[in-house]
Amino acid sequence: MKYRDNGAIGALLDEYEKSIRELKAVIKQVTTNDLTYIVDHETKDEDCKSIQTILTHIVESGYTYVIEIRKWLGEEINYKKKELLHSVPEYNIALDKMFAFNEDLFKDYPKIQLEEYTSNKKIKVRWGQRYDVDQLLEHAIMHILRHRRQIERFMVKMENSSKANTSKT
């Protein structure tokens, strides 16, 4: 792995990219049927019913974090709409584009202040919390890690369900 040399920004981008790489490794073997299979029938969260809905949520959220920062910096920018994709290769491309959008923030604002200690100067995101840039990007990284784990658990459930169905025949 090649590390970025631009201090804390480099560390954030390296770890963000690593979390995406780990997610891609997990979904590598996901078939089209696995992608759309509803694993969690109990949840009321539409973003957490299938691997497809989770990946769609991850991509959309990855844009949202940067859009929140750009809005805080005074830009007029719209949120990205969710887009259900139909294959792992499509999600891999979408994840790459989303990450490039994150990288572009630091190309456009190379001297952006990462930490803000005054609460009312922090970014108030649309879900109500306040973050500085560093915290929001750390949240973005953790978001991918949590959903990667959720997808891993979904894959185990699907495998166990498949085994149970096979043993009944």
Q: Which residue has the tokens 């299979």?
A: 37
Q: What pLDDT digit, counting tens, does each position of 46-88 carry?
A: 999 999 999 999 999 999 999 999 999 999 999 999 999 999 9
Which of 166, 147, 155 minimizes the C-alpha distance to 34? 155
Among the listed residues 54, 53, 58, 64, the one whose alpha carbon sits nearest the alpha carbon of residue 136: 64
Q: What is the pTM of this model?
A: 0.93
What gap in Å lies between CA 164 and CA 168, rounded to an integer? Answer: 6
Q: What is the pLDDT tens value at each position of the chain, 169 positions in all?
A: 778 888 999 999 999 999 999 999 999 999 999 999 999 999 999 999 999 999 999 999 999 999 999 999 999 999 999 999 999 999 999 999 999 999 999 999 999 999 999 999 999 999 999 999 999 999 999 999 999 999 999 999 998 887 777 655 5
CATH topology of domain 7-164: Four Helix Bundle (Hemerythrin (Met), subunit A) (1.20.120)
